[in-house]
């Protein structure tokens, strides 16, 4: 990943965030802890330094959840619980329509989508009769691509559109050749092209968007939202400006330090994997306790069939307990003492 990010030098993020003006009077600040949801990919890379443990200071702590798929990101957004959210721009509109109480703080990331193929394509009109893979039906990649097709007089009805939940799911389909045509974002694009030299960029969607719509920056791929309640809490303290500056500084750091950004992303991913494993082991402990308890119950009732099932459940749970396996001895002893005391 380090090599890939060095090659692409990270697609330049434009964080156009409108800060509140600093007040002349003395501001009293308090410790703020904010929650942030963010999609995997370029937005996560852009804020990798922001959400690292080292970046949090005494005044501001940002706890980030990086969502791997659009479905999980949408689910978290619709809850309306996060103080901050980085979402595809069309989801920002959905949040507004559903009155979830979010304000737009700015844009993080102008278009980084590309149409790629293993086939020769001379014109977008050549796509008629083909199957094209994309991520998230009705989301930014889908909306942008179909708009470009329409503006190039391509008949959508002559194209088969197939969708997956995330770019990470699409990558293996492209590399294996199953998806001959696909819309991919960076940095997944660089990963795919590094592993399959037959994959070619047919169209830079952002460049095409700028051309057909006569705009300077292209389309806003991701939008930073802030919960109105959270904004009202911090707007007069100067902390809003500091939070916005943290996003800008993290973006600049990622652009200027692509290899370190890659290392930071790998570290964050590893921490997440460790946390997930810890959770799975805790669930396994709970499963073992439940099975062991009912094993004793069925032993008293002499229900051999259910007793055998609980013994199997205990064995399965023990295999999943990992580093928490030693607690098995304590559970067995505790339940034994409980059964003696209650018989």
Residues 24 and 148 in one domain: no
Which CATH number does the domain housing residue 20 bear?
Answer: 3.40.190.10
Same domain for 50 and 77, yes or no, is yes
- Mapping DSSP to helix (H, G, I), strand (E, B) and coil, where does residue 15 land? strand
Higher pLDDT, 277 or 240: 240
Taking CA atoms, 249 is separated from 23, 29, 49, 264, 278, in Å, by 22, 21, 9, 15, 32
For the residues 237-248, what does the mean pLDDT come to? 86
Higher pLDDT, 6 or 284: 284
Q: How confident is the model at residue 343 (pLDDT cuts 50, 70, 90)?
A: low
- End-to-end, the C-alpha distance of the chain in Å comes to 60
Contact predicate 148/183, CB 8 Å = no
Q: Are residues 45 and 118 in the same domain?
A: no
- The answer to the question of residue 174 being in a domain is yes
pLDDT attached to residue 16? 39
Residue 66 lies in a domain: yes
- Distance between CA 124 and CA 117 in Å, rounded? 12
Average pLDDT over residues 147-153: 95
pLDDT band per the 50, 70, 90 thresholds, residue 217: confident
If asked whether residues 105 and 27 sit together in one domain, one would say yes
On average, the pLDDT of the chain sits at 79
Which of the residue ranges 12-26, 170-184, 234-248 would you say has the lowest mean pLDDT?
Answer: 12-26
The pLDDT score that the predictor gives to residue 3 is 39
* 3-class DSSP state of 195: helix
Asked if 157 and 243 sit in the same domain, the reply is: no
The Cα angle at residue 163 between residues 160 and 167, in degrees rounded to 5: 130
pLDDT at 25 over 50: no
Residues ≥6 apart with Cβ < 8 Å to 180: 117, 118, 119, 130, 131
Among candidates 71, 6, 11, which has minimal Cα distance to 43?
11
- Percent composition of the chain: helix, strand, coil (DSSP 3-state, to 5): 55, 20, 30
Res 273: pLDDT? 54
- Give the domain range for residue 98: 2-110+220-256
Top mean pLDDT of 4-8, 10-14, 304-308 is at 304-308
Lowest pLDDT segment from 58-62, 75-79, 198-202, 269-273: 269-273
Instruction: Tell me whether residue 320 is in a domain.
Output: yes
Instruction: Specify the number of domains making up the chain.
Output: 3
Each residue's pLDDT tens digit, 122-138? 999 999 999 999 988 88
Residues 224 and 209 in one domain: no
Mean predicted confidence (pLDDT) in 262-267? 64
Q: What is the pLDDT of residue 210?
A: 93
Residue 126 shares a structural domain with residue 187: yes
Confidence grade of residue 139 (pLDDT, cut at 50, 70, 90): confident
Q: Are residues 128 and 170 in the same domain?
A: yes
Q: Look at residue 273 and tell me if it is in a domain.
A: no
Distance CA 325, CA 319 (A): 8
Question: Is the predicted pLDDT of residue 119 greater than 80, yes or no?
Answer: yes
Q: What is the pTM of this model?
A: 0.60
Whether 190 shows a pLDDT value over 80: the answer reads: yes
Alpha carbon distance 100, 39 (integer Å): 19
pLDDT value at 272 more than 90: no
Task: Give the mean pLDDT of 29-44.
Answer: 79
Write out pLDDT tens, residues 80-114: 999 999 998 888 888 888 899 999 998 877 788 99
**Helical packing angle, 188-195 and 167-176, nearest 10°:** 20
User: Is the model's pLDDT at 166 over the cut of 90?
Assistant: no
Cα dihedral across residues 211, 216, 218, 219: positive or negative: negative
Evaluate whether 111 touches 97 at the Cβ level (below 8 Å): no
Q: How is residue 25 annotated by DSSP?
A: S
Rounded to 10 deg, the angle between the 70-79 and 89-97 helix axes is 30
- Strand-pairing partners, residue 103, are 226
Distance CA 125, CA 155 (A): 8
Clarify whether residues 106 and 181 are in a common domain: no
Separation of alpha carbons 291 and 76, rounded Å:
33
- Rounded Cα distance, 239 and 235, in Å: 7
The residue-averaged pLDDT of 53-75 equals 74
- Mean per-residue pLDDT, 282-305: 78
For residue 78, CA distances in Å to 72, 74, 100, 296 come to 10, 6, 7, 44
Is residue 263 assigned to a domain? no
- CB distance 294 to 306 below 8 Å: yes
Helix (H) or strand (E) holding 61: strand 60-67
């Amino acid at each position: 990943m380090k090599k890939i990010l060095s090659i692409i030098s990270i697609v330049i993020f434009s964080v156009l965030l409108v800060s509140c003006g600093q007040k002349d009077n003395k501001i009293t600040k308090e410790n703020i802890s904010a929650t942030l949801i963010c999609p995997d990919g370029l937005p996560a890379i852009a804020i990798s330094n922001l959400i690292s443990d080292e970046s949090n200071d005494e005044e501001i702590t940002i706890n980030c959840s990086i969502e791997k798929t659009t479905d999980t990101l949408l689910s978290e957004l619709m809850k309306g619980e996060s103080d901050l959210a980085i979402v595809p721009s069309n989801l920002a509109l959905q949040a507004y329509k559903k009155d979830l109480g979010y304000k737009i703080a700015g844009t993080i990331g102008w278009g980084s989508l590309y149409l790629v193929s293993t086939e020769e394509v001379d014109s977008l009109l050549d796509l008629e009769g083909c199957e094209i893979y994309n991520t998230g039906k009705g989301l930014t990649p889908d909306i942008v691509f179909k708009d470009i097709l329409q503006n190039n007089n391509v008949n959508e009805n002559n194209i088969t559109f197939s969708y997956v939940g995330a770019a990470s799911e699409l990558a293996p389909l492209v590399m294996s050749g199953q998806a001959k045509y696909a819309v991919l974002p960076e940095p997944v694009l660089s990963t795919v092209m590094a592993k399959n030299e037959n994959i070619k960029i047919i169209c830079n969607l952002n460049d095409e968007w700028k051309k057909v719509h006569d705009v300077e920056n292209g389309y806003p791929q991701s939008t930073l939202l802030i919960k109105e309640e959270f904004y009202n809490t911090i707007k007069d303290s100067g902390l809003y400006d500091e939070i916005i500056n943290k996003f800008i500084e993290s973006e600049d750091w990622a652009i200027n330090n692509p290899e370190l950004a890659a290392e930071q992303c790998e570290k964050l991913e590893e921490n997440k994997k460790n946390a997930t494993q810890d959770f799975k082991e805790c669930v396994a402990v709970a499963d073992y306790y439940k099975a062991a308890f009912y094993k004793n119950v069925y032993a008293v009732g002499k229900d051999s069939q259910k007793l055998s099932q609980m013994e199997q459940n205990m064995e399965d749970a023990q295999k999943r307990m990992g580093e928490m396996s030693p607690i098995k001895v304590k559970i067995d002893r505790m339940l034994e003492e409980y059964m003696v005391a209650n018989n």
